[in-house]
Chains A and B, each alone.
Chain A
Amino acid sequence: MLRRIFTSGSAALVLAFIYLPLLTIIWYSFSAESVNSFPIKAYSLEWYKVMANDDSLLRAVASSLRVAFASTVIALIIGIPATFALHKFEFPGKRMVERIVLMPITLPGIVTGVAMLSFFPRIGVELSLVAVGIGHITFLLAIVVTQLLSRFKRLDPNLEQAAYDLGATPLRAFFTVIIPNIRTAIIGAALLCLVLSMDEIPVTFFLIARDNTLPIEIYGMMRRGITPEVNAISTLIFLATVVILIISQRLSRKTND
């Protein structure tokens, strides 16, 4: 009995460690005060109002969204055909290509960041949101490839064969049979890419010029001193993440059916 209490007690303690900080932010985002003191004396939506009127923050959200959508679309366009090829063909150097694809997520972002910072201007890519986008696409390719490779492996090869038997060209089979069959996995991968791009800091940090992305803007606000406005933004980011996660889980469950 005592042991049972110990096991479930320590599990509950760990869950508390994971969730209390996040719940604290949400709770304090409704505080009316300008410092995060305990206990909260008055509640209000003051900080949400401040946030909604913060121009530089809103610009950062817009920049982040633009970078995230553009990077995700391009990563999918480049990544889907390549993943299909990695799945179907054996060719010399295949292992090597797979390792290279994973490099941006296995190696630390700071090294990738300074490498891009040093090299990009030399090939005419000036530090800007475009450079940030190029950096993001590079690591999103790793996400697209890993996510879709496991889906391709579960795809029934006879579907494609049937398309050929019925006279389809490889190109036609790819767009009318293969892509529609991995549709949910593509949407799932796209959602992951959006979340990761919106959240990326180490590479973005070095490639940014004047326009901040959202996490960099928050980082700046934190360094300038704590303002409870960050509580409000963080709460919204948390909620958005939860919603996206639920959608992608629903989709992956559908894929398994």
Chain B
Amino acid sequence: MRATLFQYAFGTNQKLNMTTVYSTRAKILLLAPMFTWLTAFLLLPYFFIFIQSFLQSDAFGNVVYSFTAESYIKIFSNKLYYFTLFKTLLMSCFVAVLCVIISLPLCYFIAFKVQSESRKTMLYTLIVLPFWVSYIVRAYSWKIILGQFGILNGFLTYTGLISEPLSFILYSDFATIICLVYIFTPFVAIPIYTAFEQIPKSLVEASKDLGAGSWTTFSRVIIPLALPGIISGATFALVLTMGDFLAPVLLGGPNTLFISNIVQNLFGTSNDKPLGSALGIVILALIVIVLEVSTYFEKKYSSFKS
């Protein structure tokens, strides 16, 4: 009894003691359903497209079982594939940077300028809320705003700023990027805000006491300390943009083509599944590299142990 009280008071848990209660069979029974499920419906499908990426497709789009690396050779020799891959990566970086630039002032304001706790919670909820709002609804909102007879054009014509509707806004790379930035900003703002909140206020005060202005404090103290959060947020936006195929379809123009659109096409109208699988594998590899690099830098710049 006394021992239990002691442990309770000091929070030592009795893990060792309790694991003995469960037999090996019980452990397996607890884990087996999820493990089986993930193997059957996640790992095997991934493994399957890996194999499929080395197969060929005949003139009718049927997959033929003869092994070849042709699809991979096609990806790295045909400009359509490698250039789109490169362009998507570039656009993704651009979206990620824009998301960070947009998130910083708002997160800074909430974390450091708002004093009352309840207002803080309210403003934070306002950032988190769009995260849960349907993707399609948010993409749609830009379609009605940017359209040729959309609200932005209507507004500009109404106020007399322009005499004729601008036709270039919707169906362009520009519209696609705005929409993606809009959709992924909450993913970036949440980790940045969390990082800002972890910075001890005393450090910010110390910087000000030593005569640094607000901007110097922001750029020399706050940003370096929040760097892991910024990196992790930017990575979210980058990876999500690389895998997006809806925004380019809904808002992009005839020349807006992301790598995922090509994959979608290869599994649809073009019907070349081996090539589509190979492209999918290349995207996966690229994303795994991005994630590894980002984890490395997150660790390198992290100043607080969580």
Contacts and interface: CB of A to CB of B under 8 A. Distances in A.
Q: Do A and B bind each other?
A: yes
Interface of A: 3, 7-8, 10-11, 13-15, 17-19, 21-22, 24-25, 28, 35-39, 77-79, 81-82, 84-86, 88-89, 91, 97, 100-101, 103-104, 106-112, 114-120, 122-123, 134-135, 137-138, 141, 157-158, 160-161, 164, 170, 195, 198-199, 201-202, 205-206, 215, 218-219, 222-223, 226, 230-231, 234, 237-238, 241-242, 244-245, 249
10 contacts: A13-B105, A18-B126, A35-B149, A37-B154, A114-B276, A116-B45, A134-B41, A222-B136, A237-B134, A242-B129
Interface in B2-48: 4, 7-8, 13-15, 17-19, 21-22, 26-27, 29-31, 33-35, 37-38, 40-46, 48
A226 B147 contact: yes
B15 A108 contact: no
Given A81-B30, A84-B30, A21 B141 contact: yes
A188 to B, nearest CB: 13
Interface string B190-231: 000000000000000000000000100000000000000000
Contacts of B244: 108
A110 B29 CA distance: 32
Contacts of A108: 239-240, 242-244, 260, 283-284, 287
Given A14-B102, A28-B151, A109 B130 contact: no
Which of A104, A111, A195 has the most CB atoms of chain B within a 10 A radius of its CB? Answer: A111
B137 A238 contact: yes
Nearest to B23: A170
A202 to B, nearest CB: 7
Contacts of A28: 144, 151
A246 B245 CA distance: 31
Given A100-B38, A118-B52, A137-B37, A25 B144 contact: yes
Contact of B102 (A8, A17, A81, A215): A17
A39 B34 contact: no
B243 A157 contact: no
Contacts of A238: 133-134, 137
Main SS of the interface on chain A?
Answer: helix
Contacts of B19: 88-89
A24 B4 CA distance: 59
Main SS of the interface on chain B?
Answer: helix
Which of B13, B19, B243 has the most CB atoms of chain A within a 10 A radius of its CB? Answer: B243
B126 A219 contact: no
A89 B141 contact: no
Given A110-B245, A111-B284, A85 B31 contact: yes
B105 A11 contact: yes
Interface residues of B, number: 91
A8 B109 contact: yes
Given A123-B40, A135-B41, A170-B21, A38 B154 contact: yes
Given A78-B33, A114-B267, A114-B280, A201 B144 contact: no
Contacts of A22: 130, 133, 137-138, 141
B168 interface: no
Which of B26, B127, B133, B244 has the most CB atoms of chain A within a 10 A radius of its CB? Answer: B133
Given A88-B18, A110-B260, A164-B21, A7 B105 contact: yes
B151 A226 contact: no
B40 A24 contact: no
A17 B143 contact: no
B301 interface: no
A83 B237 CA distance: 28
B142 interface: yes
